[in-house]
Amino acid sequence: MATHQEITDSLKAFAEGYNSNKRLQTMNRDWNRVIQVLTTDIESAHTLELKDGELRFWEGAADKPDLTVLADSETLADMFYGDITPTEPYMNGTLKIMGSEDDIVRLDFISLLIWGE
């Protein structure tokens, strides 16, 4: 089981990877979204906000997110660090993402472009 701090660190690594990729920022400049990250096994919530191509995050839940990412703490920490792709836990039901299908695919693309295969 990962801790809240580990998830925070993984999101920090994810956000650093994103914000250091100028091309990714340009590609997402029109994709303004609020993404909530919740865990199923510990009490932990984070919010990611993509606005004008920039990504920032903070601890705590969002009021009305566009997307909600829900998984156990281990899966979330591994996924945001890029040690696993989101696809496998998504396909076996460990990872749930609530939101529009296009947004879900876009989130996976971002992860692919930050961490590679």
Partner 1 sequence: MMIKLKKVLTLRTIVATSAGLTLASSSFVAAIQMAGFLAGDSAWIAIMVGGMLCLGAGACFSELNGMLPSAAGIRLYFGRAFGDTVALAVSLLYMFVVMCVVGAESYVLGNILSEALPVVAPVVWILFMFVVVTLMNIRGIRLAGNFQDMVTYGLMVSLIVLAFVGFYHTGFRFTTPVAPGGIVPVINAVAVGVFLYVGFEWVTPLAEEVTESRLIARGMLVAVGLLSIIYSLITMAMTSAVPREAIAGSPVPLLVFARYVLGEAGVLWAVVICLASSITTFNAGLISVSRFFYASARENVLPRVFSKISMRYFTPWVAILGVLAVALIVSMLVLITGRYLVLLNTAAAMESIVYAMSGAAVLVLRKKSPGLPRPYIVAGGAAVPVLTIAVFFLLALSVMAFDPVTAVSILAGLGISFWYVMKVVPVLKEKNSARRPAARRRPAPVSESQPEAIPAGTDTGSKPEKV
Determine if 32 is a binding residue for partner 1 (CB under 8 A).
no
Determine if 43 is a binding residue for partner 1 (CB under 8 A).
yes
Determine if 42 is a binding residue for partner 1 (CB under 8 A).
yes
Phi/psi of residue 53, nearest 5 degrees:
90, -10
With contacts defined by CB under 8 A, how many residues of the chain interact with partner 1? 66
Q: Please give the single-letter amino acid code of residue 68.
A: T
Determine if 6 is a binding residue for partner 1 (CB under 8 A).
yes
CA distance 76 to 114: 16
Q: Which residues pair with 70 in a beta bridge?
A: 38, 96
Strands 54-59 and 33-39, how do they pair?
Answer: unpaired
Angle between helices 101-115 and 4-19 (to 10 degrees): 80
Residues that bind partner 1 (CB under 8 A): 2-6, 9-10, 12-13, 15-16, 19, 23, 27, 34, 36, 38, 42-45, 47, 49, 54-61, 63-68, 70, 77-78, 81-83, 85, 87-88, 90-93, 96-102, 104-106, 108-109, 112-113, 115, 117
